[in-house]
A = this chain, B = another copy of it.
Amino acid sequence: MATRARRPERREEPLSRERIVGAAIELLDTAGERGLTFRALAERLATGPGALYWHIAGKGELLDAATDAVVVGALTAGPADAAPREATRALALGVFDAVEAHPWVGAQFARAPWRSPMLRVFERLGRQVRAIGVPEAAQFTAVSALLNYILGVAGQNAANARAHQERRPDTGRAQFLGAVSASWAELDPDAYAFTRNVAEQLRDHDDREEFLAGIDFILTGIAVRHGPSETAPS
């Protein structure tokens, strides 16, 4: 009688939204964005494609849920007692690192605007901008600038990852940048004088440092325009 005290379930583990999203993340990380298909996902979960639709509405919702899981993880860190500017840098770096670990997240940001993952980042950036002292009427503008920059970098990271993962799995980031840098050096000297000139800087740059430098440019611009007094504290 009663229920047979937690039978070993119908299979090892029943299908669930969490399990599906988890498998989707693994698939995205290992096989890239093109590797996530309902058929591959079903095979990995030892079921058929149709079963997945009982738990997830469609591919859009699946990508959304996967992105949200990654973003939530990236935003949990943070000491929170740092100075606003430092906290903003840490926050941005957290998103950057998450995108570098899961490049497909960068592409997803550009696909679904104002969904839950982006809202989380927006909110966190907003609190820092408010802490910095930006007047209320200018807060949306300041946060938008930061967010759009972060999204731009994320999107490019995703694109680069695709370029040297799906096309040539054997080449790494260094070879990829080296190849692009070499092609820049052979551009027309008149039409692409500047680009030729910075070909070496492309090859040798550090993504993280460049990203942070951009964040600092924007934060400085915000401080000059809206800061309490730039150098002297109030």
Chain A residues close to B by CB (< 8 Å)? 107, 109-114, 119, 122-123, 126-127, 130, 136-137, 139-145, 147-153, 155-156, 158-160, 163, 180, 187, 191-195, 197-198, 201-202, 205, 210, 213-214, 216-222, 224-225
Contact = CB atoms under 8 A, between A and B. Distances in A.
The copy count of this chain in the complex is: 2
A183 to B, nearest CB: 8
B148 A114 contact: no
16 contacts: A107-B110, A110-B158, A122-B195, A123-B194, A126-B195, A126-B197, A130-B194, A139-B194, A141-B213, A141-B214, A145-B149, A145-B210, A148-B214, A149-B152, A149-B218, A216-B221
A163 B113 contact: yes
A191 B155 CA distance: 27
A126 B220 contact: no
B218 A140 contact: no
B152 A153 contact: yes
A113 B159 contact: yes
A171 to B, nearest CB: 15
